[in-house]
Protein backbone atom coordinates (compact mmCIF):
# COMPACT_ATOMS: atom_id res chain seq x y z
CA UNK A 1 0.00 0.00 0.00
CA UNK A 2 2.86 2.39 0.75
CA UNK A 3 4.29 1.90 -2.72
CA UNK A 4 0.97 2.68 -4.38
CA UNK A 5 0.43 5.71 -2.14
CA UNK A 6 3.82 7.02 -3.28
CA UNK A 7 2.89 6.51 -6.95
CA UNK A 8 -0.28 8.54 -6.42
CA UNK A 9 1.60 11.36 -4.72
CA UNK A 10 4.21 11.62 -7.45
CA UNK A 11 1.76 11.49 -10.33
CA UNK A 12 2.27 9.35 -13.42
CA UNK A 13 5.75 7.94 -13.74
CA UNK A 14 6.18 4.95 -16.10
CA UNK A 15 9.06 3.50 -14.11
CA UNK A 16 7.08 3.76 -10.84
CA UNK A 17 4.12 2.07 -12.52
CA UNK A 18 6.34 -0.76 -13.73
CA UNK A 19 7.59 -1.31 -10.19
CA UNK A 20 4.03 -1.22 -8.82
CA UNK A 21 3.03 -3.92 -11.31
CA UNK A 22 5.33 -6.33 -9.45
CA UNK A 23 3.35 -6.09 -6.19
CA UNK A 24 -0.07 -7.65 -5.71
CA UNK A 25 -1.40 -4.90 -3.46
CA UNK A 26 -0.24 -2.04 -5.72
CA UNK A 27 -0.89 -3.56 -9.16
CA UNK A 28 -4.65 -2.85 -9.60
CA UNK A 29 -4.30 0.76 -8.52
CA UNK A 30 -1.33 1.34 -10.81
CA UNK A 31 -3.28 -0.01 -13.77
CA UNK A 32 -6.32 2.10 -12.88
CA UNK A 33 -4.10 5.16 -12.96
CA UNK A 34 -3.41 4.41 -16.63
CA UNK A 35 -7.14 4.44 -17.34
CA UNK A 36 -7.40 7.96 -15.91
CA UNK A 37 -4.51 9.51 -17.82
CA UNK A 38 -5.17 12.51 -20.05
CA UNK A 39 -3.24 14.93 -22.21
CA UNK A 40 0.55 14.71 -22.17
CA UNK A 41 0.61 11.90 -19.62
CA UNK A 42 -1.64 9.76 -21.82
CA UNK A 43 0.58 10.50 -24.81
CA UNK A 44 3.64 9.53 -22.77
CA UNK A 45 2.06 6.21 -21.80
CA UNK A 46 1.00 5.50 -25.38
CA UNK A 47 4.59 5.95 -26.53
CA UNK A 48 6.03 3.65 -23.86
CA UNK A 49 6.47 0.23 -25.49
CA UNK A 50 7.81 -1.39 -22.33
CA UNK A 51 4.74 -0.36 -20.34
CA UNK A 52 2.41 -1.78 -22.96
CA UNK A 53 4.42 -4.99 -23.23
CA UNK A 54 4.09 -5.46 -19.47
CA UNK A 55 0.31 -4.96 -19.68
CA UNK A 56 0.17 -7.57 -22.41
CA UNK A 57 2.11 -10.05 -20.31
CA UNK A 58 -0.08 -9.44 -17.26
CA UNK A 59 -3.31 -9.97 -19.22
CA UNK A 60 -2.10 -13.41 -20.28
CA UNK A 61 -0.65 -14.46 -16.93
CA UNK A 62 -3.05 -17.03 -15.47
CA UNK A 63 -1.31 -16.76 -12.08
CA UNK A 64 -2.45 -13.17 -11.58
CA UNK A 65 -5.80 -12.21 -10.09
CA UNK A 66 -8.70 -11.74 -12.51
CA UNK A 67 -9.08 -8.05 -11.63
CA UNK A 68 -5.53 -7.22 -12.67
CA UNK A 69 -5.87 -9.15 -15.93
CA UNK A 70 -9.14 -7.42 -16.84
CA UNK A 71 -7.74 -4.01 -15.95
CA UNK A 72 -4.69 -4.77 -18.11
CA UNK A 73 -6.96 -5.43 -21.10
CA UNK A 74 -8.80 -2.17 -20.54
CA UNK A 75 -5.52 -0.28 -20.20
CA UNK A 76 -4.20 -1.71 -23.48
CA UNK A 77 -7.32 -0.50 -25.23
CA UNK A 78 -7.02 2.90 -23.55
CA UNK A 79 -3.39 3.22 -24.66
CA UNK A 80 -4.21 2.12 -28.21
CA UNK A 81 -1.80 -0.82 -28.11
CA UNK A 82 -2.50 -2.38 -31.51
CA UNK A 83 0.69 -4.42 -31.22
CA UNK A 84 -0.99 -6.15 -28.26
CA UNK A 85 -3.89 -7.42 -30.40
CA UNK A 86 -2.46 -10.91 -31.09
CA UNK A 87 -1.91 -11.49 -27.36
CA UNK A 88 -5.44 -10.25 -26.62
CA UNK A 89 -6.88 -12.46 -29.34
CA UNK A 90 -5.41 -15.51 -27.63
CA UNK A 91 -7.85 -14.95 -24.77
CA UNK A 92 -11.03 -15.07 -26.87
CA UNK A 93 -11.86 -18.76 -26.56
CA UNK A 94 -11.97 -19.32 -22.82
CA UNK A 95 -13.86 -22.24 -21.28
CA UNK A 96 -14.13 -21.66 -17.52
CA UNK A 97 -16.25 -18.86 -16.03
CA UNK A 98 -13.10 -16.84 -15.26
CA UNK A 99 -11.72 -17.37 -18.76
CA UNK A 100 -15.05 -16.38 -20.27
CA UNK A 101 -15.15 -13.14 -18.27
CA UNK A 102 -11.65 -12.38 -19.52
CA UNK A 103 -12.62 -13.30 -23.09
CA UNK A 104 -15.52 -10.86 -23.05
CA UNK A 105 -13.18 -8.08 -21.98
CA UNK A 106 -10.76 -9.16 -24.71
CA UNK A 107 -13.50 -8.88 -27.35
CA UNK A 108 -14.33 -5.35 -26.20
CA UNK A 109 -10.66 -4.35 -26.18
CA UNK A 110 -10.13 -5.67 -29.72
CA UNK A 111 -13.16 -3.71 -30.88
CA UNK A 112 -11.83 -0.51 -29.32
CA UNK A 113 -8.45 -1.15 -30.95
CA UNK A 114 -10.21 -1.77 -34.28
CA UNK A 115 -8.38 -5.10 -34.51
CA UNK A 116 -11.33 -6.59 -36.34
CA UNK A 117 -9.30 -9.28 -38.10
CA UNK A 118 -8.18 -10.68 -34.73
CA UNK A 119 -11.68 -10.35 -33.28
CA UNK A 120 -13.04 -12.58 -36.06
CA UNK A 121 -11.81 -15.65 -34.15
CA UNK A 122 -14.57 -14.92 -31.63
CA UNK A 123 -17.19 -16.44 -33.92
CA UNK A 124 -15.96 -19.83 -32.69
CA UNK A 125 -16.61 -18.98 -29.04
CA UNK A 126 -19.29 -20.81 -27.11
CA UNK A 127 -20.21 -17.58 -25.33
CA UNK A 128 -23.04 -15.63 -27.05
CA UNK A 129 -21.69 -12.22 -26.03
CA UNK A 130 -18.34 -12.88 -27.67
CA UNK A 131 -19.94 -14.39 -30.77
CA UNK A 132 -22.23 -11.37 -31.03
CA UNK A 133 -19.28 -8.98 -30.78
CA UNK A 134 -17.40 -10.90 -33.46
CA UNK A 135 -20.47 -11.11 -35.69
CA UNK A 136 -20.97 -7.37 -35.39
CA UNK A 137 -17.40 -6.12 -35.85
CA UNK A 138 -15.19 -9.03 -36.85
CA UNK A 139 -13.70 -9.31 -40.33
CA UNK A 140 -15.83 -12.20 -41.55
CA UNK A 141 -17.61 -12.95 -44.81
CA UNK A 142 -21.18 -12.09 -45.76
CA UNK A 143 -22.08 -15.77 -45.83
CA UNK A 144 -20.75 -16.29 -42.29
CA UNK A 145 -22.84 -13.39 -40.97
CA UNK A 146 -25.92 -14.58 -42.83
CA UNK A 147 -25.49 -18.04 -41.29
CA UNK A 148 -25.31 -16.47 -37.82
CA UNK A 149 -28.78 -14.96 -38.35
CA UNK A 150 -30.02 -18.49 -37.61
CA UNK A 151 -28.27 -18.72 -34.22
CA UNK A 152 -30.36 -19.76 -31.23
CA UNK A 153 -29.27 -16.73 -29.17
CA UNK A 154 -31.07 -13.45 -30.07
CA UNK A 155 -27.93 -11.53 -29.07
CA UNK A 156 -25.90 -13.33 -31.73
CA UNK A 157 -28.58 -12.79 -34.39
CA UNK A 158 -28.68 -9.09 -33.46
CA UNK A 159 -24.89 -8.82 -33.77
CA UNK A 160 -24.94 -10.52 -37.15
CA UNK A 161 -27.69 -8.19 -38.39
CA UNK A 162 -25.74 -5.13 -37.30
CA UNK A 163 -22.59 -6.47 -38.90
CA UNK A 164 -24.34 -6.56 -42.28
CA UNK A 165 -25.09 -2.82 -42.22
CA UNK A 166 -22.09 -1.93 -44.36
CA UNK A 167 -22.22 -4.98 -46.61
CA UNK A 168 -23.80 -4.50 -50.05
CA UNK A 169 -24.64 -8.22 -50.10
CA UNK A 170 -27.16 -8.00 -47.26
CA UNK A 171 -30.25 -9.47 -48.81
CA UNK A 172 -30.27 -12.19 -46.13
CA UNK A 173 -31.52 -9.51 -43.71
CA UNK A 174 -34.95 -10.38 -45.12
CA UNK A 175 -34.90 -13.32 -42.73
CA UNK A 176 -33.96 -11.11 -39.77
CA UNK A 177 -36.78 -8.68 -40.57
CA UNK A 178 -39.14 -11.55 -39.73
CA UNK A 179 -37.26 -12.59 -36.59
CA UNK A 180 -39.36 -13.44 -33.54
CA UNK A 181 -37.33 -11.00 -31.41
CA UNK A 182 -38.21 -7.30 -31.93
CA UNK A 183 -34.67 -6.14 -31.09
CA UNK A 184 -33.36 -8.27 -33.95
CA UNK A 185 -36.04 -6.96 -36.30
CA UNK A 186 -35.08 -3.39 -35.41
CA UNK A 187 -31.37 -4.08 -35.92
CA UNK A 188 -32.20 -5.68 -39.27
CA UNK A 189 -34.22 -2.64 -40.33
CA UNK A 190 -31.37 -0.29 -39.35
CA UNK A 191 -28.84 -2.46 -41.17
CA UNK A 192 -31.04 -2.76 -44.24
CA UNK A 193 -30.81 1.01 -44.58
CA UNK A 194 -27.04 0.87 -44.21
CA UNK A 195 -26.83 2.22 -40.66
CA UNK A 196 -26.06 0.70 -37.27
CA UNK A 197 -28.48 3.21 -35.78
CA UNK A 198 -31.48 4.40 -37.76
CA UNK A 199 -31.08 7.99 -36.56
CA UNK A 200 -27.31 8.14 -37.09
CA UNK A 201 -25.84 10.53 -39.62
CA UNK A 202 -23.13 9.49 -42.02
CA UNK A 203 -22.47 7.75 -45.28
CA UNK A 204 -24.78 4.90 -46.25
CA UNK A 205 -23.50 1.78 -47.98
CA UNK A 206 -26.07 0.98 -50.62
CA UNK A 207 -27.17 -2.64 -51.04
CA UNK A 208 -26.95 -4.41 -54.36
CA UNK A 209 -30.03 -4.17 -56.58
CA UNK A 210 -30.87 -7.78 -55.77
CA UNK A 211 -30.62 -7.17 -52.01
CA UNK A 212 -32.65 -3.96 -52.29
CA UNK A 213 -35.42 -5.76 -54.19
CA UNK A 214 -35.69 -8.30 -51.35
CA UNK A 215 -35.64 -5.75 -48.54
CA UNK A 216 -37.92 -2.94 -49.75
CA UNK A 217 -41.26 -4.81 -49.57
CA UNK A 218 -40.43 -6.20 -46.14
CA UNK A 219 -39.43 -2.78 -44.82
CA UNK A 220 -42.69 -1.33 -46.18
CA UNK A 221 -44.64 -4.07 -44.41
CA UNK A 222 -42.85 -3.41 -41.11
CA UNK A 223 -43.38 0.34 -41.34
CA UNK A 224 -47.10 -0.10 -42.06
CA UNK A 225 -47.85 -2.84 -39.49
CA UNK A 226 -49.69 -1.23 -36.56
CA UNK A 227 -49.10 -4.35 -34.47
CA UNK A 228 -45.35 -3.97 -34.81
CA UNK A 229 -43.22 -2.39 -32.09
CA UNK A 230 -42.99 1.36 -32.59
CA UNK A 231 -39.19 1.40 -32.65
CA UNK A 232 -39.16 -1.26 -35.39
CA UNK A 233 -41.61 0.79 -37.48
CA UNK A 234 -39.43 3.88 -37.00
CA UNK A 235 -36.28 2.08 -38.13
CA UNK A 236 -38.06 0.54 -41.12
CA UNK A 237 -39.39 3.93 -42.19
CA UNK A 238 -35.96 5.58 -41.99
CA UNK A 239 -34.37 2.65 -43.83
CA UNK A 240 -36.86 3.14 -46.65
CA UNK A 241 -35.73 6.75 -46.90
CA UNK A 242 -32.09 5.74 -46.98
CA UNK A 243 -32.89 3.37 -49.84
CA UNK A 244 -34.75 6.06 -51.79
CA UNK A 245 -38.36 5.08 -51.04
CA UNK A 246 -40.39 7.97 -49.59
CA UNK A 247 -44.05 7.13 -50.23
CA UNK A 248 -44.72 5.75 -46.73
CA UNK A 249 -43.10 8.75 -45.09
CA UNK A 250 -45.13 11.16 -47.22
CA UNK A 251 -48.38 9.44 -46.27
CA UNK A 252 -47.56 9.54 -42.56
CA UNK A 253 -46.70 13.24 -42.70
CA UNK A 254 -49.90 14.05 -44.59
CA UNK A 255 -51.97 12.03 -42.11
CA UNK A 256 -50.34 13.79 -39.16
CA UNK A 257 -51.26 17.18 -40.56
CA UNK A 258 -54.88 16.11 -41.09
CA UNK A 259 -55.60 14.16 -37.94
CA UNK A 260 -52.49 13.85 -35.80
CA UNK A 261 -50.98 10.49 -34.97
CA UNK A 262 -47.96 8.99 -33.27
CA UNK A 263 -45.42 11.78 -32.93
CA UNK A 264 -42.49 9.32 -32.83
CA UNK A 265 -43.52 7.80 -36.14
CA UNK A 266 -44.03 11.24 -37.66
CA UNK A 267 -40.55 12.30 -36.58
CA UNK A 268 -39.14 9.16 -38.22
CA UNK A 269 -41.04 10.04 -41.41
CA UNK A 270 -39.45 13.50 -41.38
CA UNK A 271 -36.02 11.99 -40.90
CA UNK A 272 -36.68 9.61 -43.80
CA UNK A 273 -37.60 12.46 -46.14
CA UNK A 274 -34.53 14.40 -45.04
CA UNK A 275 -32.36 11.64 -46.53
CA UNK A 276 -32.65 13.37 -49.90
CA UNK A 277 -33.37 16.80 -51.36
CA UNK A 278 -37.10 17.17 -50.59
CA UNK A 279 -39.44 17.70 -53.51
CA UNK A 280 -41.77 20.71 -53.65
CA UNK A 281 -44.58 18.53 -52.26
CA UNK A 282 -42.35 17.24 -49.46
CA UNK A 283 -41.21 20.74 -48.52
CA UNK A 284 -44.86 21.69 -48.20
CA UNK A 285 -45.43 18.67 -45.94
CA UNK A 286 -42.46 19.66 -43.81
CA UNK A 287 -43.74 23.22 -43.47
CA UNK A 288 -47.11 21.84 -42.40
CA UNK A 289 -45.30 19.71 -39.81
CA UNK A 290 -43.67 22.83 -38.36
CA UNK A 291 -47.21 23.95 -37.48
CA UNK A 292 -47.83 20.73 -35.53
CA UNK A 293 -49.16 21.08 -32.00
CA UNK A 294 -46.45 18.63 -31.00
CA UNK A 295 -43.32 20.71 -30.44
CA UNK A 296 -41.11 17.66 -31.01
CA UNK A 297 -42.52 17.14 -34.50
CA UNK A 298 -42.31 20.89 -35.21
CA UNK A 299 -38.66 21.00 -34.15
CA UNK A 300 -37.60 17.94 -36.18
CA UNK A 301 -39.40 19.33 -39.24
CA UNK A 302 -37.70 22.68 -38.83
CA UNK A 303 -34.30 21.01 -38.58
CA UNK A 304 -35.03 19.02 -41.75
CA UNK A 305 -36.01 22.17 -43.61
CA UNK A 306 -32.92 23.98 -42.36
CA UNK A 307 -30.65 21.21 -43.67
CA UNK A 308 -31.86 21.77 -47.23
CA UNK A 309 -33.11 25.39 -47.31
CA UNK A 310 -31.66 27.37 -44.38
CA UNK A 311 -32.93 30.76 -45.59
CA UNK A 312 -36.57 29.66 -45.70
CA UNK A 313 -36.17 27.69 -42.47
CA UNK A 314 -34.87 30.73 -40.60
CA UNK A 315 -37.81 32.82 -41.83
CA UNK A 316 -40.23 30.14 -40.63
CA UNK A 317 -38.36 29.83 -37.33
CA UNK A 318 -38.77 33.54 -36.61
CA UNK A 319 -42.55 33.11 -36.89
CA UNK A 320 -42.85 29.73 -35.17
CA UNK A 321 -40.30 30.25 -32.42
CA UNK A 322 -42.91 30.48 -29.60
CA UNK A 323 -44.15 26.97 -30.49
CA UNK A 324 -40.82 25.44 -29.50
CA UNK A 325 -39.72 24.78 -25.95
CA UNK A 326 -36.72 26.69 -24.52
CA UNK A 327 -34.30 23.83 -25.15
CA UNK A 328 -35.34 23.54 -28.79
CA UNK A 329 -35.10 27.29 -29.24
CA UNK A 330 -31.57 27.22 -27.86
CA UNK A 331 -30.59 24.41 -30.21
CA UNK A 332 -31.97 26.28 -33.21
CA UNK A 333 -30.20 29.47 -32.19
CA UNK A 334 -26.92 27.57 -31.91
CA UNK A 335 -27.45 25.91 -35.28
CA UNK A 336 -28.17 29.23 -36.98
CA UNK A 337 -25.29 31.00 -35.25
CA UNK A 338 -22.87 28.26 -36.29
CA UNK A 339 -23.78 28.81 -39.93
CA UNK A 340 -23.37 32.59 -39.91
CA UNK A 341 -20.21 33.84 -41.63
CA UNK A 342 -17.66 35.47 -39.36
CA UNK A 343 -15.44 38.33 -40.43
CA UNK A 344 -11.75 38.62 -39.78
CA UNK A 345 -10.60 41.38 -37.46
CA UNK A 346 -10.45 44.65 -39.37
CA UNK A 347 -12.82 43.61 -42.17
CA UNK A 348 -15.51 46.11 -43.08
CA UNK A 349 -18.89 44.72 -44.09
CA UNK A 350 -21.32 46.47 -46.37
CA UNK A 351 -23.88 46.35 -43.55
CA UNK A 352 -21.74 48.69 -41.47
CA UNK A 353 -22.40 52.40 -41.33
CA UNK A 354 -20.18 54.98 -39.68
CA UNK A 355 -20.91 57.44 -36.89
CA UNK A 356 -18.16 59.83 -35.93
CA UNK A 357 -15.72 57.77 -37.94
CA UNK A 358 -16.53 54.53 -36.08
CA UNK A 359 -18.34 51.53 -37.60
CA UNK A 360 -21.81 50.74 -36.27
CA UNK A 361 -23.13 47.26 -37.03
CA UNK A 362 -26.65 46.42 -38.04
CA UNK A 363 -28.67 44.95 -35.14
CA UNK A 364 -29.17 41.65 -36.94
CA UNK A 365 -25.45 41.12 -37.52
CA UNK A 366 -23.53 39.25 -34.84
CATH number at residue 190: 1.25.10.10
Give the pLDDT of residue 339.
74
Q: Please give the residue range of the domain that contains residue 234.
A: 141-245
DSSP, res 207: P
171 within some domain:
yes
307 within some domain:
no
Local structure of 360: helix, strand or coil: strand
- For the whole prediction, is pTM greater than 0.75? yes
Kindly give the parts of the chain with pLDDT less than 50: 1-4, 342-366
Contacts of 58 (CB under 8 A, 6+ apart): 21, 27, 31, 64, 68, 69, 72
207 within some domain:
yes
Question: Between helices 2-10 and 27-35, what is the axis angle to 10°?
Answer: 20
324 within some domain:
no
Percent of all residues in the chain with a pLDDT value above 70, rounded to a whole number: 87
- Looking at the DSSP assignment, which residues form a beta bridge with residue 93? none
CB 21 within 8 A of CB 7: no
177 within some domain:
yes
Element (H, E) at 10: helix 2-10
354 within some domain:
no
Q: How many domains does the chain have?
A: 1
Burial class of residue 90 in the structure, from the number of CB atoms within 10 Å of its CB (0-12 exposed, 13-18 middle, 19+ buried): middle
116 within some domain:
no
Q: For 84-110, write each residue's pLDDT tens digit.
A: 999 999 999 988 999 999 999 999 999
Q: For 316-342, write each residue's pLDDT tens digit.
A: 999 888 888 999 999 999 988 887 654
DSSP string covering 239-266, please?
Answer: HHHHTT--HHHHHHHHHHHHH---HHHH
CB 284 within 8 A of CB 301: no
Amino acid sequence: MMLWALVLLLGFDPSASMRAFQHDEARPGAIRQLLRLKGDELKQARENDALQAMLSLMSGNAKLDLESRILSLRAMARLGCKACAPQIGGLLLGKTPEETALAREAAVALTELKAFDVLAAGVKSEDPEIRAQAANYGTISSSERCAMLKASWPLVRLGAARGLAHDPERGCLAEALADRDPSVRRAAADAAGGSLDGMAEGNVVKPTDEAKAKLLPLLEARAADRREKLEVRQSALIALGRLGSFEKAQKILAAHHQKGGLSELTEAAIFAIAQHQPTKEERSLLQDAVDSKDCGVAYVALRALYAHDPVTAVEIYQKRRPKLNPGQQEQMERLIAAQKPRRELGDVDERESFVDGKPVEDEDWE
